[in-house]
Amino acid sequence: MTAAEPFGFTSLATALVLVAVALLLGWWQRLDVERDIGFACVRAFVQLMAIGYVIHFILRTDRQIYVILTIAAMLMFAIITSARRARGLPGAWTLAAASIGAASLVTLGVMLALGIIPAGARYVIPIGGMIIGNCMNVASVTAVRLLQDAGDRRLQIEAGLALGASPHQSTSAIARRSVQLALVPVIDATKTTGLVFLPGAMTGMILAGADPLQAVRLQVVVMFMLLAAVALTATIISYLAPGRLFTPQLQLRRLEG
């Protein structure tokens, strides 16, 4: 044990040992992920350093316009990432923008309006990031799953159409399943929280020396907020996407997952 300052650049450099372990395993098992791991680590370092300085700067100046710009930028990256994932889905960009945008802003808005979190940059930026990130994941999983099921269950969908079903009616089963599937990680995390793992926000507060009881209260709020945000995201996608799988004459499009 060295007596280095916690999370100084020395401990950061030392942590590269762990990356080396991952790289070595990848090389040894021929997983062909070494480039990906390396690239991901560099990106994580650069992106986090950048946002660190940004938040540092915003907290010092404390002007709302910077907070809004930061949230907008986060939204933009989330929408780009999710839309790329769901590329095969016609109108993926609109879908990603509508679902992630509406769900995150509504959730964040409600939290601020009800005074659950204070309006300062210190709260809005990290909480906003959590919300947007989770919405992004759920949007991607919902859309990708929907697209995949529309291919796998083409026969049933067309059987429904042939009986006179509308796009929503003929895809209701797969839409429901894709939402359920996308929500599983968040629901399970909510269920097992504290038993299996200590979630990020709480961990962070405890590491930073805050009162564990206060950290726990924050975490409960975060969990509830994420549930609302992801449920909203998945519902918006499952509401908007089915129409895009069909032509105006209600024919199921040929889709490439």
Partner 1 sequence: MDVIMEGLRERTADGFSRPMPRLRVEGLRLSAGSGTSAVRILHDVNFSVKRGELFTVLGPSGSGKSTLLRCLNRLVEPDAGTVLLDGAPASELPVQELRRRVGMVFQTAALFDGTVLDNVLYGPRLQRCGRFGPEGLAGRPPRPGETERAVALLARVGLPTDFVARKAQDLSGGEAQRVAIARALANDPEILLLDEPTSALDPTANLRIQGLLKNLAAQGDLTFVFVTHDLNQARDLGDHGLLLVDGHVVDAGPLPDFLDRPLVEVTRAFVEGRFSGEAEDASPVALAPRGSADDLPGGGSL
Binding site for partner 1 (CB under 8 A): 155-156, 158-166, 168-170, 172-173, 176, 247, 249-252
Nearer to partner 1, 102 or 165 (CB): 165
User: Is the Cβ–Cβ distance between 222 and 128 less than 8 Å?
Assistant: no
CA gap 241, 96 in Å, rounded:
10
Lookup: tokens for 140: 């991607």
**Smallest distance from the beta carbon of 206 to partner 1, in angstroms?**
44
**Smallest distance from the beta carbon of 61 to partner 1, in angstroms?**
48
Nearer to partner 1, 82 or 99 (CB): 99
Nearer to partner 1, 94 or 251 (CB): 251
**Smallest distance from the beta carbon of 164 to partner 1, in angstroms?**
4
Nearer to partner 1, 140 or 170 (CB): 170
**Smallest distance from the beta carbon of 173 to partner 1, in angstroms?**
4
Cα 66 → chain centroid: 22
User: Is the Cβ–Cβ distance between 134 and 230 less than 8 Å?
Assistant: yes
* DSSP three-state, residue 153: coil
**Smallest distance from the beta carbon of 150 to partner 1, in angstroms?**
14
What are the C-alpha distances in Å from 76 to residues 92, 136, 144, 163?
14, 10, 19, 41
Lookup: tokens for 229: 């945000």
**Smallest distance from the beta carbon of 242 to partner 1, in angstroms?**
9
User: Is the Cβ–Cβ distance between 49 and 9 less than 8 Å?
Assistant: no
User: Is the Cβ–Cβ distance between 167 and 242 less than 8 Å?
Assistant: yes
Nearer to partner 1, 210 or 250 (CB): 250
Q: Give, in degrees to the nearest 5, the angle at Cα 231 between 230 and 235.
A: 115
> Taking the C-alpha atoms of 65, 67, 73 and 75 in order, what is their torsion angle to the nearest 10 degrees?
-120
Nearer to partner 1, 21 or 250 (CB): 250
